[in-house]
Each structure stands twice: as structure tokens, then as C-alpha cells.
Structure 1
Amino acid sequence: MQIQLNSNRAFWLKHLYRWHWISSAACLVGMLLFAFTGITLNNANHIESLPAVSKRTATVPAPLLKQIQTDPADDKAALPKATADWVGNAIGVELANQPGEWSEAEVYVSLPRPGGDAWLVIDRESGEVNYELTDRGWVSYINDLHKGRNTGVAWSWFLDIFSVAALVFSITGLFMLSMHAGNRPSTWPLVGLGVVIPLVLVILFIH
């Protein structure tokens, strides 16, 4: 019976170690990034960042101007492809399939991005294009990566996969703690502190 128990224990420990190190390797860089950005987010008021604003202008040529003078079927439609390509090349931005806000006077395109913001306005009568980009620096950039703000589908998938790897890492670590706890009396008191301390802080100091 004891031999069987030892065999089962060895089997589970082997697999727990395997999944623990695989998950830790998979999410190592992500955990370092998210731990660092947790500090920068928590101390955002103490980290000075002066936004850099740049502006660009252009004028849509007459043949393309007719495309934006024609009312679209949807007032949230993207710019016509030919116009979007021309403006994108002239300004240096990607406008394909970017929804716009169409009014009688202008087309407004919002272009949010991590670490900053941007927008573009086209006058439907004159074809004048005004583009403004605000860059809030690298700290704001990595903070937005942490929050998944304006980062796109690929980064959203990365966050989900990273979260699953971090859960596997934490859960396998907990099971390994439980299997070694008999020889390490301080195991459960330390785990308990990890639960109690944030709970007490939430109850007493967060309103």
C-alpha cells in the first residue's frame, strides 16, 4: 500500500514539475513585464511624462474629393479605399477599414494607439486634411500594453494565452506546495498570509 502511495506521489510530482516549469518558461517575460508595469501604473502620478504632439496636413486631390462629398450609406463608414490609400500615404498612417464619423462638413477618424492618441479630419468641401498625433512616451506605452488598451486582436490573444499560462503556473505551484507541506511547516502560514494581507487591506483601506 505504501509503495503504491509513493508511486502515485512520484507520478503526480513528476507531472506537476513538468507543467510548472513549462508554464513558467512560457509566461516568464510576460510576468516580468506585467510586474514592472504594475509598479509604473501604481506610481503613474510620480512618473513625469510630457506628451509630444505632431501635426501633418494635406489636401485631397479633386478626383478623390468627389468620393467623400458623396454621402455614405452609413455615417460610421470607413473612407473609400482610393481616398484612404491616398490620405494614408500622404500622412503616413494606416486608414484601411478604419471607421469614420461622417457629418455634413467633415469626416473624423479616430486613431487611438497604446501610449498615445491620434485623429484625422477631412473637410468634405475643400479636401483639407488635418492629422494630429500625441505620443505620451514609453512608460505610457507599456502601461497600455498592461491594460490591453488600443492594442489590437493579436495582443488581446497574447494576454489571454499568458493568463492561462500564469494560472497553470500558480495552480501547479499550489499543488506542489501541498505535497511538500508535511516537511515544511511554514508552508500554509505563508500561503495564508498571501490571502489574508490583501483581504485586510481591501477591507480596511479601500473604500
Structure 2
Amino acid sequence: MAERVNKKTKARWLKQLHQWHWISSALCLISMVLFSVTGITLNHAADIDAQPVISERQAVLPPPLLATLAQTERGPLPETVRRWLAREAEIQVDRRDAQWSADEVYLAQPRPGGDAWLAIDLGNGELIHEDTDRGWVAFFNDLHKGRHGGAVWFWFIDLFAVATLLFALTGLALMALHAKRRPATWPVTALGLIVPWLLIALFVH
């Protein structure tokens, strides 16, 4: 009777673990491929030739908008200024806070795979905008590192990490349940644990 109960319990756990395992693997599949590939590109960053594309624009802010800036001391650029920049100078800026001083407004806009900055002279309204695009490899590398991805990407990485842990732990539980029929299970698992620590101890200084 006890053996029958144990078999039913094991079968129930197997079914549940298989379900968690395939769901977590399906959720993680594309992201695991992305993070694995970018792990390789990050490890060989010095060997990947990338030529940044830099574009620069110059313009003069109209006096009414310059007066609006003169009345602002902190926070993002005023909405009217942002609209004029997009329409007249083809410069897209967001609502992040700028750096305000007595004679200049400076706005940095870092992003995955590139960055941009805008400087406006509060004396004469002259502005300079520079945009640097480092390419798709740099874009995905920065996403891998979580650099400048924003709050949504920040939380996605955390959720992806949790799903990956679930995938790994359910895989470990499934291995434990099948270990009796697969004698190599624990030696291979132990090898996966020992090898990284040996490499760290012997070659990482």
C-alpha cells in the first residue's frame, strides 16, 4: 500500500515538474539564446570591429523659446522646446532631466548601443546635438548588461532570471527523480560544479 502511495506521489511530482520545466523553458528560450550569444560577443568584444556612426546637428533656438529656457531652472526641457527641436531640427529628446547652469543647458541621452547629447547656449540660443550609434552588436551587448534599458527592461531581466532559476531547479528535481536509472547523473552534475571553480582557482587572478 505504501509503495503504491509513493508511486502515485512520484508520478504527481513528475507531472508537475515536467509542466513547470517546459513552461519555464518556453518562456526563457528566446532570451536564453539572446543572452548566450551576447555572452560570446561580450567575451570577444576586443575582436569585433565596430565603427561608431556619429552625426552632428547645429541650430539656433528662436528668442521666444530661449526666453522659456531662461525661466526654467531644473527638470526636463519644456514641451515647446522639445516640439521645436523635433520639428525644425529633427532632434528627438525625451523627458529626462537636463543639467542646468547659468549659461548652458546640457542634456545627456545614453541608450543601448549608443548615446546622444544636446547643449544649448542660454546667451545666444546656439545649440549642438551629437548622436553616436555603435551598431547592433553594441545594442544587444548593452541589453545583456542592462545598461540604459529603462525600468521595463530592468524588471524584465529580473523576471527572466527568476524563470531561468525555475527552469534550472525543476531540471535538477527531474534529474533527482530519474537518477536511479541514470547512474551518470550526479557525476556529470558534480563535474559541472567543480570545473568552473577549478578554472577560477587555477587561471583567474
Whether TM exceeds 0.5 here: the answer is: yes
Please give the per-residue CA displacement for 1:14-41, whole angstroms capped at 9, x wherever unaligned.
0000000000001100000000000000
Distance in 2 (CA, whole Å) between partners of 1:27 and 1:93 is 37
Dislocated runs of 4+, deviation >4 Å:
none
Match of 1:95 in 2: 93
> What amino acid is aligned across from residue 173 of structure 1 in structure 2?
G
Amino acid aligned to 2:151? V
Change in 2 beyond 3 A, CA 1:9/1:54: same
Q: Note if contact 1:91-1:131 (Cα within 8 Å) is conserved in structure 2.
A: no
Q: Give the residue type in structure 2 aligned to 1:51.
A: P
Question: Are the structure 2 counterparts of residues 91 and 204 from structure 1 closer, same or farther at C-alpha, using a change threshold of 3 Å?
Answer: farther
Is 1:43 equivalent to 2:44 in the alignment? Answer: yes
TM-score computed with the length of structure 1 as normaliser: 0.94
**Which residue matches 2:123?**
125
Q: Which moved more, 1:85-94 or 1:188-197?
A: 85-94
- Unpaired runs of 5+ residues, structure 1, are none
What is the distance in 2 between the residues matched to 1:108 and 1:156? 26
Contact 1:115 1:136 in 2 (8 A): yes
TM, length-normalised to structure 2: 0.95
**Counterpart for residue 140 of structure 2:** 142
Letter aligned with residue 162 of structure 1: F
SS of aligned partner of 2:110 = coil
Aligned residues: 204
RMSD of the TM alignment (CA)?
1.3
Once the two structures are superposed, what CA deviation does each residue of 1:168-207 show, in whole Å capped at 9, x if it has no partner?
1000000000000111111001110111011111122112
Amino acid at match of 2:54: V
Map of 2:183 onto structure 1: 185
Aligned amino acid, residue 92 of structure 1: E
Please name the residue that 2:11 is paired with.
Answer: 10
How far did residue 98 of structure 1 move?
A: 1.6
Whole-angstrom CA distance in 1 between matches of 2:126 and 2:28: 47
